[in-house]
Every structure is written in C-alpha cells, then in structure tokens.
Amino acid sequence: MYHVAGELGVRVDVPFKDLSDEEKEIVYNGPSVKRYINIPSKNGKLFELNAEYRNAHKAVEEALKKAKTEKGLQRINKYLKTEVCRECNGTRLNKRANSTLLGGINISEASKMTLKDLVNWIPKIINDLPLEMQDMAKNIAEEFMDNANIILDLGLSYISLDRPSNTLSTGELQRVQLARTLRNPTTGVLYVLDEPSIGLHPSNVDGLISVMERLIEDGNSIVLVDHDVRILKVADYMIEMGPQAGHNSSNVIAEGTIDEIEDNVNSIIGKFLSNEEKIIIREKSNREDLFENGEIELSTREIHNVKPLNVKIPKGKLTVVSGVSGSGKTTMLLESLYPGVKSLINDEKLPNNIDYINCDSIKKIELIDSVPIGKNVRSTVATYSGVLDDLRKEFAKLDISKEKGYNASDFSYNTGSLRCPTCNGTGTISMDVQFLPDVEITCPDCDGLRYGEDVDEILLNGLSISQIMGLTIDQALDELIGLEKVNNKLGKFSNLGLGYLTIGEATPSLSGGEAQRLKLASEIGKSQRNSIFIFDEPSIGLHPLDVRVLLSVFQTLIDNGATVIVIEHDLDIISNADYIIDIGIDENHCGGDVLACGTLEDILDSKESITAKYLREINF
C-alpha cells in the first residue's frame, strides 16, 4: 500500500511524523483509486501491478472483519478503542428487545441481576403471568434451573449474567466452562478432567465434588488428574505415578482404593491423604513481631464486584491473600497494589482505583505469575537461563572446533551452521494436513535436539551439545563438571525443584508453576532488601512435596530481606503464612470485602472467614 500511497503524492522515504497534513490525510482517508505500481520480486526483477488503494482506516476495518483467531484480534486491537454504545448503553440489545417487560423489567435489567437474585425472582413472576402462560413458563424455568443449579453448585451465585467473560478470574472462567459442558444430562460418557481444582477455593472444591458425584450417579465415568488432597480423598480408585518428575517418572508406584493407597509403603501421596504427613515447615512470626519491619498500606475504591478495601501488609514477612474465587484477590494485588507501587517507584500518577498507598523505602516490586515464558519453541530452558551462551563459548574453545573453523555462533541452534537443516533448529516440523489444522511433530532427523549430525564429533566432557540439550538439569549438573558458570545457573533451577526439566525444553510448554519458578531463579541469592514479590497462585499443579520446596523458596527470599505476598487457595501454604488476609463475598453479594486478617490463629478464631472452616480441618 505504501507504493500506491507514493503514487498518490505521499512521500514514503520520510518518517510519518514529518509528513504534511495533506499527506497524512491521504494515508488515513485516501480514496479507493487504482494506480499502476512496480513491485520488486525476490530475484530483483520488477513486475507491474494495478493496485487499488486501501487507506489506513479501511485496512484496519478489513483486518478486523477477517480476524478469526485471538492472536489476530490482539494485533488489530492496538488500533482500536472501546466505548459504550450510545444506542443500547452497553446492554447489547436494541430498543425493540428492551421494550418487552416481564415482572416490570426488561431482559437487560434482568441480566444485570446476580444468579442468586434471578433464581429467587423467577418463581415470583411466574405466578403473575396469565394462567394460559404459566405451564409454558414453568417448563422454561425448569430448563433455566437445570443450568443455574450447576453454576450455583460451583459457587458462582454472585455473578450477573451480563458480566463480560474477560473480567472473570481464572477459577470463575473454568467453572463457567465446566457448567457449560455439564448443562445437558448425560449417561455413559467418559469425562477426562485435567486438574479441575486449579484456581478453586476449598468451598468451590465442595461444589466441584458434588457436580462430579452427580455425573457418576447419572451413569457417567470420570478420570481426573489432580493434586488437591480433598478431591483425591473422594476418588473410588487411584493410580499414583512417580517416583519423581522427569526422567525418573512414568512408573505406576501405587494403585487401588484410598485405603489401599494410604497403606501402601511405596506411595508418596498416601501419608498426605491420611494426614500423617504435614507441610508446616516455616517458623512463623509472633503476633507481636508481625510489623517489626514496617508496613505497606493500601486503600482502594470500588472496582468490578469488589468493595473499597483498606489493608495493611507487614514488610519482610510472608503474607497470603486467600478467599473464594472472584472475591477480589486479583483486583486487590494485581490491579491495585502492583501498579500502585510501580507508579510510586517510577514517580508516576497512581491508578484511578487507588485512594492511598504507602510503601516507604520499597525500591522494587516483581510480579511472578504463570504467564508462559517465550512465545515460540525457540525459547528453551537453555536460552532463558543463559546456559546456551556459556556452552557455545566452551565448545568454541575446543581444539577440534578451532581446527574446523567453528566459533561460538556456529553452535547456536537459532542461526548457527551446526543447527539441524531439517527443522532449522526448532526441534519440530509442521505437517500440512489437508482440510485440518497443521500438526507439529518432533523432527525425525535430530529427534528434537535441534542440531545436525556434524556436532556429534565435537565433545565436551564426553558429550556433544545436542546430547547436552537432551539432559535434565540434574543430569547436567552431574555431567558438566568444571563448568562453573553453567553449574551456578542450573543449580538455582535444581534448588527450585526444577531439576527434572531438560536443558532443551521449550519454555512455552512449561506449566504455570514451572514458569513461575523459572522466572524466580535470577532473584535467588541476591539481596532483596526493600523488594516486594507478588506470586499469583504459585501452587498450581504442585504435589504436596513440591509445595514444601515452594515454601522454602519463599523463606529464602524473606531471609534476603524481601516482602512476599501470595494469592493462594492451597491450605498448606495459607497455614505457613505469617499474615493472612481473607477476602470473601458478603451475604447480599454486593461485592468482595475483607472478612478477616491476622495470624493463622486469628483466622481460625474468625466467625466471618470462609477459609477458616477448611483451615480448621488440617490444623486440628
């Protein structure tokens, strides 16, 4: 298009900001006229094209119409702004639809009600309908309740039907999706659930268990992968894999009923199921010493369904923010505290939803979330850690490398001459399956190790660089003796419980918990005085033994001077906290609010805390 714009009088060899107003107008709103232009081909030859001009606004509109994927929409969104529709005032319905009243309100007003209020409202309005309509209305209401009861069981009674899905928390969205799957009664269906407890508060887990029990009663079967002990305890049969992660995994170490698992000496999870094994490993602060290092104060305005909050967080301690999904944990920390502290550090204006924040002496704040690391398969543990750079330099120093004229750049699987020519160093190739999405398979020539055959004769400690890419972190620590820089970096990952990952593992494929610990590795061993670390549900996907490792990581950060704040549902992590802030939804579902705060003992004594009920089960 810039060739056509040039034919229309726009200078294409100067920065856009230096164009005249007339030229900018052509770029933005130029006419859809055709012009002959010369386009250079790859071999340098020119070919003539009669092209129709598509101005910038039209280009964005057409791209928006054609966008079919989330990635495509994200690319276009940066050119768009969103505002409430003046015609429907955000209800999405036209005047005709909103002109029909039922019980004195239209469908848009009904959609603003919470599910709990709707369930109470519907029986009342059925009785107010004409007699000839009541039977039909009752049938519709029964169908509505079939759907609503599942959502109610999953603890989402406070959500209004017009709530945009992009404002839901991870746990809320997962439960809405589960409810959608289960809304039609089935029998003889096998449901496979992959860690359904992720993001769920223990009270929501109760609802999940009741939904699963209902499915089984209807004649269905459920196979699930999970680490939540409360869900595992209701299983009829368990298959335990182990004994470790990575290359020491994939063995069935125990199977049977829960009683049989608890009695099996080979079982690792058995002692946690029987409550014989506890995960209380931290020496927590006394109530009198909680604020000995100072405090962080935060006061917020109402946002989403969360009431104005006023909280104090002790510095240099482990604080856990708990509460049912959707109560406001993410809103308080990720949408208020984190951007607020960032603004103070950078001397910028506070976000609009913050009334007051005090974090004197804080110089750094880090958000350790579960967002995947890297955007494609070229990002690996080796590149993210910097280990590949160190290895390339070591291989380049070898006599055989010098003889063959190889330098460090040749050992790069991204651009080096030694990368696999079949997959170009990605470790995978894309198979074009006609009429179906492309299929990614492991490269058959390098077996996913990214390098060609020429590297096999260049050995360091008896291993080629491709063989090193196939080692786990723990194996590499044993094999790469004498490589101090490499071992220092890999040692941090091993200490974080990631020793089972392979050096060449693609980082986008890591779980949320693995990604969090990988991001944290660079911070281990440094002084963290005047630093805040916020973790967003770091226990996701973790076995109880991994939770112990995670707690030791928190302690290491605290010992180095950091303030650690964690959004968490895991009862063991909550029990290990110095300070707990428990948020919940109030009785009338008007919004999230702080129900209790203090030490574990304070929460256990609280009558308002929803989490306290479940903490008592494991602490007495």
Distance CA 71, CA 63 (A): 12
β-partners of residue 312 are: 297
The predicted structure's pLDDT at residue 117: 86
| Polymer length in residues for the chain | 620
CA neighbours within 13 Å on the CB side: how many for 31?
A: 6
Q: What is the pLDDT of residue 139?
A: 93
Using pLDDT thresholds of 50, 70 and 90, give the confidence band for residue 567: very high
Tokens of 9: 């009088």
pLDDT at 247: 65
- Measure the CA–CA gap between 326 and 486, rounded to whole angstroms: 43
Residue in the structure block whose two tokens are 């319905």: 93
Burial class (CB in 10 A: 0-12, 13-18, 19+), 244: middle
Buried b (16+ CB within 10 A) or exposed e, 444-463: eebebbbbbebbeebebeeb
At residue 587, does pLDDT exceed 60?
A: no
- pLDDT of 523: 81
Amino acid at 297: E
Cα–Cα distance measured from residue 242 to residue 250, given in angstroms and rounded to the nearest whole number? 6
Q: Is the pLDDT of residue 586 over 70?
A: no
Query: How high is the mean pLDDT of the chain?
Result: 87
Averaged pLDDT for residues 216-220: 90
> Could you tell me which residues come within 8 angstroms of residue 147 by beta carbon, excluding any fewer than 6 positions away?
179, 183
> Taking the CB of residue 239, how many other CB atoms lie within 10 A of it?
13
Please, what sign has the CA dihedral across residues 573, 579, 581, 582? positive
Token digits for 172? 């809320």
**Nearest CA among 222, 251, 256 for reference residue 239:** 256
Average pLDDT over residues 493-499: 87
pLDDT of res. 108? 93
Give the lowest-confidence range in 59-68, 169-178, 348-357, 393-402: 169-178
pLDDT of residue 434: 58
The pLDDT assigned to 437 comes to 64
Average pLDDT over every residue of 202-217:
86
Give the pLDDT score at 589: 42
Q: Give the CATH number of domain 287-372+511-619.
A: 3.40.50.300
Give residue 591's pLDDT: 62
Q: Which residues of 245-259 are buried (b: 16+ CB within 10 A; e: fewer)?
A: bbeeeeeebbeeebe
Question: Quick check: 76 pLDDT over 80?
Answer: yes
Could you report the per-residue pLDDT of 332-381, keeping only the tens digit for each?
Answer: 898 899 999 999 998 888 888 898 999 888 999 999 887 778 777 788 99
- Same CATH topology for 113-235 and 381-509: the answer is no
387's enclosing H/E stretch is: helix 387-397
Which of 173-187, 301-315, 380-394, 518-532 is predicted most confidently? 380-394
pLDDT digits (tens, 9 = 90+) for 225-262: 998 888 999 999 999 998 877 666 678 999 999 999 99
Pairwise CA distance, residues 471 & 47, whole Å: 52
Q: Give the integer Cα–Cα distance in Å for 600 and 606.
A: 10
Rounded Cα distance between 510 and 253, Å, is 24
Q: Which CATH class is domain 2-77?
A: mainly alpha
Domain layout of the chain by residue ranges: 2-77, 113-235, 287-372+511-619, 381-509
Please give the helix or strand (H or E) that residue 261 lies within, else none. helix 258-263
- Give the per-residue pLDDT at 328: 82
Least confident range from 55-64, 202-211, 407-416: namely 202-211
Q: Report which of residues 291 and 584 the model is more confident about.
A: 291
The CATH architecture one would assign to domain 381-509 is Up-down Bundle (1.20)
pLDDT band at 563 (very low <50, low <70, confident <90, very high): very high
Give per-residue pLDDT as tens, 527-538.
888 899 999 888
Torsional sign, CA 444, 450, 454, 455: negative
Instruction: Tell me how far apart the alpha carbons of residues 269 and 476 are, in angstroms, rounded to a whole number.
Output: 28
CA gap 261, 463 in Å, rounded: 41
- Other Cβ atoms less than 10 A from the Cβ of 343: the count is 15
Cα–Cα nearest to 331, from 114, 583, 146: 583
Q: Residue 605: what pLDDT?
A: 93
Q: How far apart are CA 338 and CA 577, in angstroms?
A: 20
Whether 516 and 370 have beta carbons less than 8 Å apart is answered as yes
More confident residue, 283 or 511: 283
Give the pLDDT of residue 433: 64
pLDDT score recorded for residue 301? 87
Give the pTM: 0.74
Q: For 454-465, what is the mean pLDDT? A: 93
Cα separation of 472 and 502, whole Å?
4
pLDDT of residue 432: 67
* CATH node for 113-235: 3.40.50.300
